[in-house]
Structure 1
């Protein structure tokens, strides 16, 4: 009897037991998604737990970041940031996006279609949504610093110390400096999302965004670029098959057969202003604590430009373009120029978040806040 390792499907998530997944319940599908996420996050290699010394060092760094973020923002800052492995972050990310993905599955199953291919995709949507979500979480976890790499809020503040160390080594940066930079950012984001009005609006806009997906009328599969390959060599077969799967599942909106006709202007505006505000907090607190702050920030900027979160963008249909980032940055700068830090602090008053039109006109936003109720 041949060893399992000689089987061409060995080590490839889902394919070794595809029949049971197709016939399984939602929990078995999401368990398969978790396995896929872990496989991608770790590249199939063994993963060690976070070193206790590293955990203690992060605790000290986190306390410093917490104090400075609280000073800059005036907001309540959650004191705890938890270091996790890549697979641990992938699992938490998958848990965070599952409610939205379950909502998408329900949405895709509602609209009947005369197209037999579209009908087949509708029947398979619970499985394909879970699979693509697992791919997204795994892809992100392989590079993510922390929660700020995912647009959907997570249950607790997490950072991936292995990715931070790899980044610091790649750019010849001090690891503790990068850890502190990330801690400032994660504390700032956590403080903003803890504001009830901000979190409630983000959750609402994300749900509305998912509800805007529809089945595509034109099922064009030419983008999948499916090619043939030789199965005579098991190892070569598995490598080619894995590459083919990544190409297919790397195009989630096509695989799911979905499209959106409208832009989520309110969601984009909210993400833009939150991102810009967090960047502002980092820019205020960072130079006081990090000697090479300028070089570190430039390295992070280049990382964002070269890597990005393409898979998450395509699955969720949300992408913060450079123009959107610039609008958020200009809004924050415009508010400070007109009303100083005190004016910017009004951003988190009840009902104060800017509309898409106000994002381009900070003076208009300030004027609205001063109008009598």
Structure 2
């Protein structure tokens, strides 16, 4: 808990109490975030463990997918896929993104010298709020994703285990009148491939660097930058402390209900955004190509299933994508697909495997010019 000398609100009723709470135990904040994630993932309903029959079925499907992915890609493929509940996936996703969110929290604590409210007590309060707000934002993001995620690929950040949300797969299969085992096999091929790709040292290091640069592009903006929130810009805007408390509580609820108000308007544009999008475009298109090679051999009705999944990807919520900078529009996906097709046309799939060479990832300019990318790789070092 912060000392009174470090607390700019220590002499002010209500604000001093809130500032002290925000300076509390960080682990308690993240435990609250975990509870929020689980609550959102389950809708507050009782959640049963994964059925042993489903676990055995996924184990068999996983082995089939593993063999085909290894044959098509030549990459080292993870041994097994692990079925989890929605809350289990949300907890693992939250643990995975926490280092980035902690970095973001520290970033948002820093005052912006150019801000007109750099020395405003209310701006200081918002800065002190950042650990709590970021933790709760991360919790809601993980819980929101868990309601529809098939597996790790829906987060696009490497996770230590390959997790599959069988309940979401069953719901999707039922919604589209698809065979659940076919959907499970499609997901298994995709998850094995994506995990193998992200495990490649060059890919992992590049992705980690871009995510850190992306997070470092956030800054704490002026209080009035929060979209249409009507926060007071100084303590003098409210003569009655109770009125200020009620107004602040209202707006705080809106921030938690729509975290983009906090984070979406405080990110500086940076070259890492286009580089991150380029990387995700290429990796997604590469994985799609592997699925397109292996899937038809194993899955009946592969075309209808692929179309249903494509529509899901384009209409899914972008809650997490906006925060992490990996939202792919239809146009972005088309660019990735065109790049992969262009490389295969010019150099075959052996040429596409050069993505995993040192320095083999394309730049944003090369994404729309696969021939230029191949030419660069052939230049002497």
Q: TM-score range by the shorter chain?
A: 0.7 to 0.9
CA shift in 2, pair 1:340/1:353, >3 Å: same
Q: Mark the CA change 1:336 to 1:222 in structure 2 (over 3 Å): closer, same or farther.
A: closer
Q: Which of 264-273 and 216-225 deviates more?
A: 216-225
Could you say which residue in structure 2 is the equivalent of 1:249?
256
Structure 1 residues 220 and 208: alpha-carbon distance in aligned structure 2, compared to 1, 3 A threshold: closer
CA distance in 2, matches of 1:304, 1:198: 23
Alignment of structure 1 residues 198-213 onto 2, 5 Å: 198-213=203-218
Offset at 1:348?
A: 0.7
How many Å apart are 1:117 and its aligned residue? Answer: 3.5
Asked if 1:99 is matched to 2:108, the reply is no
Match 1:268 to one of 264, 267, 277: 277
| Equivalent residues of 2:336, 2:367 under 8 A apart | yes
The CA deviation at 1:261 is 2.9
Give SS of 1:258's match.
coil
Give the superposition deviation at 1:317: 3.8
> Structure 1 residue 130: deviation in Å?
0.1
Decide whether aligned partners of structure 1 residues 364 and 220 sit closer, same or farther in structure 2, where only a CA change above 3 A counts. closer
Cross-structure match for 2:378: 370
Residue 124 of structure 2 corresponds to which residue in structure 1? 119
Cα offsets for 1:205-259 (capped at 9, x unmatched): 0001101111224624453599xxxxxxxxxxxxxxxx99885324323235623
Deviations 1:40-89 (A, max 9, x none): 00000011111111101000000110111111111111111100000000
- SS class of match (1:154): coil
Cα distance in structure 1, aligned partners of 2:52 and 2:361: 41
Q: Distance in 2 between matches of 1:293 and 1:246?
A: 44
Of the candidates 278, 281, 284, which is equivalent to residue 287 of structure 2? 278
SS in 2 for 1:144: coil
Deviation at 1:346, TM superposition (A): 1.2
TM-score (norm 1): 0.86
Query: For 2:308 and 2:314, how far apart are their aligned partners in 1?
Result: 10
- Map 1:267-306 to 2 at 5 A: 267-306=276-315
| Length-normalised TM-score, structure 2 | 0.84
- Whether the aligned pair in 2 keeps the contact of 1:118 and 1:219 (CA below 8 Å) is no
Give the match's secondary structure for 1:304.
helix
Structure 2: 5+ residue runs without aligned partners? 1-17, 113-117, 232-249
SS of the counterpart of 1:111? Answer: coil
2:68 equivalent to 1:29: no
**Structure 2 counterpart of 1:333, from 328, 336, 341:** 341
Query: Equivalent residue for 1:345?
Result: 353
Secondary structure in structure 2 of the residue aligned to 1:271: helix
Contact 2:190–2:287 (Cα < 8 Å) also in 1: yes
1:314 paired with 2:319, answer no
| Equivalent residues in 2 for 1:51-130, closer than 5 Å | 51-112=51-112, 113-130=118-135
Q: Can you list the C-alpha shifts for 1:307-345, whole angstroms capped at 9, x where unaligned?
A: 23x211232243222222111111100000000111111
Contact 2:210 2:276 in 1 (8 A): yes
Q: Secondary structure of the equivalent of 2:224?
A: coil
Residue 351 of structure 1: how far off its partner (Å): 1.5
Alpha-carbon distance between aligned partners in 1 of 2:90 and 2:337, rounded to the nearest angstrom: 30
Distance 1:35 1:134 in 2: 8
Distance 1:285 1:246 in 2: 47
Instruction: Find the counterpart in structure 2 of residue 42 from structure 1.
Output: 42
> Conserved in 2, the CA contact under 8 Å of 1:250 and 1:311?
no
Structure 1 unaligned segments of length 5 or more: list them.
1-17, 227-242
1:354 aligned residue (348, 356, 362): 362
Deviates more, 1:86-95 or 1:363-372: 363-372
How do 1:127-276 residues align onto structure 2 when only pairs under 5 Å count?
127-217=132-222, 219-221=224-226, 223=228, 248-256=255-263, 258-262=266-270, 264-276=273-285
How has the CA–CA distance of structure 1 residues 322 and 250 changed in structure 2, closer, same or farther, with 3 Å as cutoff? farther
> 1:159 aligns to what SS in structure 2?
strand
C-alpha deviation, 1:372, in angstroms: 1.5
